[in-house]
C-alpha cells in the first residue's frame, strides 16, 4: 500500500485496493494501543459510509473525489454536525452538539474524506507541548521506536492529529496553527505540516485561540499530500512550477532562529543545507535582525493572550477550576492588555511585517529549523511548571514568528531514519504559499533521495 494519500488514491482508482479496505486498516490502527490517547471519539459508521460511497462511485465508472474515501481526523476544536467541539477541555464537555459542519470540515467531506474521529489536543490549543491533563497525552510513536524507555512529548497543540497520521490511523489530520500547532508536532514526529497564509482558509465554526493568528490547515505524510489538502481546505488551485533546486534562492536567518539548537537538530539541519547546496540551491546566511524585534512587541502576551481572554473571560469566571492551570494562567495575561495596547500591537505588527518583507525580498523562502530541540521527555514537563514553560517557549519560538508575520510555512523531515525526528521549515510572507509549496517539493525530493541512497 502507498505511503501517502495521493499514491493510495491512485491505487484505488486503478482497482488494486478499495477505499473500504484502506479504511478498515486505518480503523484497526485507530483502535490499537499506540493510539490510546489519540482520539476523543471515533465515528466509524460515518467513515464507512464515506468509503463505501467512493467504492460505489468507482464501480459505476465515476471520477473519484480528491480524498477518495480515505481516513482523515479532525482536531477537537472544529465543528462536525452532531458532535461536540470541546477543544479537549472539561469546561466545554457539556457544550451543545454542532448544528452544522464548519467550512473546513464541509470541504473535507465534499472532497470525499472519511472523517474517522476527533483528536485529542492541548486544552484550548494553548501549548506547543501537547500535554493534556484531562484526556491523557498521546504518546509520540516515532521516538518510542528509537527510545522505548523514555516517553517523549508529541508536540502540540495538534498532538492527537499528528499521532493519528504517524501511526497510520489516518492519511491526513485537520488541525490549527496559531503559533506552530501544526508544524511543531509534525517536526517532532517526522511528518509534513503546512501552515498556509491564515486568510486563505476559513476558521468559522472552530473554538478560537487567537482570531488574528489562527490558521486552519493539515498534517500529512508528504509535501504533495500537503498541496492536495491545502487545495481542498482553501478551495483554490495551487500553481506549481516545479523548478529545479538550482533555480531557487534561499536564506537562512541567523538571528534567534539558530540559537540554542541541540546537537541532533544542528547536525540534521546543517546536513540538509549541505545536501541542498550540493543539489544546486543557492543558500545565503543573513542576519535578518528584524526578527529580534518581535519578542518585545509580544512581551505582554500578544494576540493569543488578548484575544483568548476576550473569548474565555465569562467561561473562565464560571469554571476556572475545570481548566488546566497552565492554560488559565496564560489566558489571564490578557486581563492586563487594554484596548489601546491591543490597537498599538496591531499597528506595530503591520510595521514589523513591512520591515520583514523588505528584508526578505529577493529570496524564494527562508530556511530554519522548525524547532530547536528534538521531542523532550514527557515526565519532567508533567512534573514541573518551570520545565514545561521552558520547553513550551523553545518549541514555539521559531514557528510563532511566521504566524506573527502573517506568513506561510511548511515543516518537513530532515533527519535520517535512525535519528530522532527533526523538521526543516521553509517559510515566507503572506500569500507566498504556492512558492513555498513548490520549493518544499524540490527540497523533499532531494532529502528523500539522500536518505534512500545512504
Asked if 161 and 175 touch (Cβ cutoff 8 Å), the reply is yes
Superfamily grouping for domain 5-298+328-453: Amidase signature (AS) domain (3.90.1300.10)
Q: What percent of the chain has pLDDT over 70?
A: 99
pLDDT for residue 77? 98
Asked if the model's pLDDT at residue 454 lies above 60, the reply is no
Instruction: Give the tens place of pLDDT for each residue, 381-409.
Output: 999 999 999 999 999 999 999 999 999 99
Q: For the chain, what is the mean pLDDT? A: 97
β-bridge mates for residue 72, sequence order: 115, 172
User: Is there a catalytic annotation at residue 428?
Assistant: no
Q: Is the peptide bond before 214 cis (omega within 30 degrees of 0)?
A: no
Instruction: Give the tens place of pLDDT for each residue, 102-116.
Output: 999 999 999 999 999
Instruction: Give the tens place of pLDDT for each residue, 126-153.
Output: 999 999 999 999 999 999 999 999 999 9
The residue assigned the cell 489571564 is 332
Asked if the model's pLDDT at residue 359 lies above 90, the reply is yes
Strand arrangement of the beta sheet that strand 216-220 belongs to: 39-42, 114-119, 71-75, 172-176, 216-220, 192-195, 408-413, 423-428, 365-369, 249-253, 282-286
pLDDT for residue 1? 74
Alpha helices in 84-154 (DSSP H): 103-110, 141-146
Domain ranges of the chain: 5-298+328-453
Given pLDDT bands bounded at 50, 70 and 90, which one contains residue 449? confident
d(CA 366, CA 426): 6
Which of 85, 181, 210, 368 is an active site residue? 181
Which of 18, 85, 157, 308 is an active site residue? 157
User: Is there a catalytic annotation at residue 411?
Assistant: no
pLDDT for residue 453? 61
Which of 18, 75, 122, 176 is an active site residue? 75
Given pLDDT bands bounded at 50, 70 and 90, which one contains residue 69? very high
Given pLDDT bands bounded at 50, 70 and 90, which one contains residue 226? very high
Residues 6+ apart with CB under 8 A from 26: 70, 71, 114, 116, 168, 169, 170, 171
Given pLDDT bands bounded at 50, 70 and 90, which one contains residue 2? confident
Asked if the model's pLDDT at residue 210 lies above 60, the reply is yes
User: Is there a catalytic annotation at residue 181?
Assistant: yes
Chain centre distance of CA 197: 13
Q: What percent of the chain has pLDDT over 90?
A: 98
The residue assigned the cell 514555539 is 396
Amino acid at each position: 500500500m502507498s505511503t501517502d494519500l495521493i499514491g493510495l488514491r491512485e491505487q484505488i482508482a486503478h482497482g488494486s485496493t478499495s477505499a473500504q479496505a484502506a479504511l478498515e486498516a486505518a480503523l484497526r490502527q485507530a483502535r490499537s494501543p499506540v493510539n490510546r490517547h489519540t482520539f476523543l471519539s471515533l465515528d466509524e459508521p460515518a467513515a464507512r459510509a464515506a468509503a463505501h460511497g467512493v467504492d460505489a462511485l468507482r464501480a459505476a465508472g465515476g471520477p473519484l473525489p480528491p480524498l477518495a474515501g480515505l481516513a482523515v481526523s479532525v482536531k477537537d476544536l472544529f465543528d462536525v454536525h452532531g458532535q461536540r467541539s470541546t477543544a479537549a477541555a472539561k469546561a466545554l464537555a457539556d457544550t451543545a452538539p454542532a448544528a452544522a459542519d464548519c467550512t473546513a470540515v464541509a470541504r473535507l467531506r465534499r472532497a470525499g474524506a472519511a472523517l474517522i474521529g476527533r483528536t485529542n489536543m492541548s486544552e484550548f490549543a494553548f501549548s506547543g507541548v501537547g500535554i493534556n491533563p484531562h484526556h491523557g497525552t498521546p504518546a509520540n510513536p516515532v521516538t518510542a521506536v528509537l527510545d522505548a524507555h523514555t516517553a517523549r512529548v508529541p508536540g502540540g497543540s495538534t498532538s492527537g492529529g499528528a499521532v493519528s497520521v504517524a501511526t497510520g490511523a489516518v492519511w491526513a489530520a485537520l488541525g490549527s496553527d496559531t503559533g506552530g500547532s501544526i508544524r511543531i508536532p509534525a517536526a517532532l514526529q517526522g511528518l509534513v505540516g503546512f501552515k498556509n497564509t491564515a486568510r486563505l482558509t476559513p476558521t468559522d465554526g472552530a473554538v478560537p485561540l487567537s482570531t488574528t493568528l489562527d490558521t486552519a490547515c493539515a498534517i500529512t505524510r508528504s509535501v504533495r499530500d500537503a498541496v492536495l489538502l491545502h487545495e481542498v481546505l482553501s478551495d483554490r488551485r495551487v500553481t506549481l512550477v516545479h523548478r529545479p533546486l538550482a533555480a531557487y534562492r534561499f536564506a537562512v536567518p541567523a538571528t534567534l532562529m539558530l540559537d540554542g539548537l541541540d546537537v541532533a537538530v544542528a547536525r540534521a539541519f546543517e546536513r540538509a543545507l549541505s545536501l541542498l547546496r550540493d543539489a544546486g540551491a543557492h543558500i545565503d546566511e543573513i542576519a535578518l535582525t528584524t526578527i529580534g524585534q518581535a519578542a518585545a512587541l509580544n512581551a505582554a502576551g500578544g494576540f493569543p493572550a488578548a484575544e483568548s481572554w476576550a473569548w474565555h473571560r465569562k467561561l473562565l469566571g464560571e469554571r476556572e477550576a475545570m481548566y488546566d492551570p497552565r492554560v488559565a494562567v496564560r489566558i489571564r495575561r490578557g486581563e492586563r492588555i487594554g484596548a489601546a495596547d491591543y490597537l498599538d500591537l496591531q499597528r506595530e505588527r503591520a510595521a514589523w511585517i513591512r520591515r520583514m518583507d523588505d528584508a526578505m525580498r529577493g529570496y524564494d523562502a527562508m530556511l530554519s529549523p522548525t524547532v530547536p530541540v528534538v521531542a523532550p521527555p514527557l515526565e519532567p514537563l508533567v512534573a514541573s511548571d518551570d520545565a514545561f514553560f521552558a520547553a513550551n517557549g523553545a518549541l514555539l519560538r521559531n514557528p510563532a514568528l511566521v504566524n506573527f508575520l502573517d506568513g506561510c510555512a511548511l515543516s518537513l523531515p530532515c533527519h535520517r531514519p535512525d535519528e530522532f525526528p527533526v523538521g526543516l521549515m521553509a517559510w515566507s510572507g503572506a500569500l507566498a504559499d504556492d512558492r513555498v509549496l513548490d520549493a518544499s517539493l524540490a527540497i523533499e525530493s532531494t532529502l528523500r533521495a539522500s536518505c534512500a541512497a545512504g
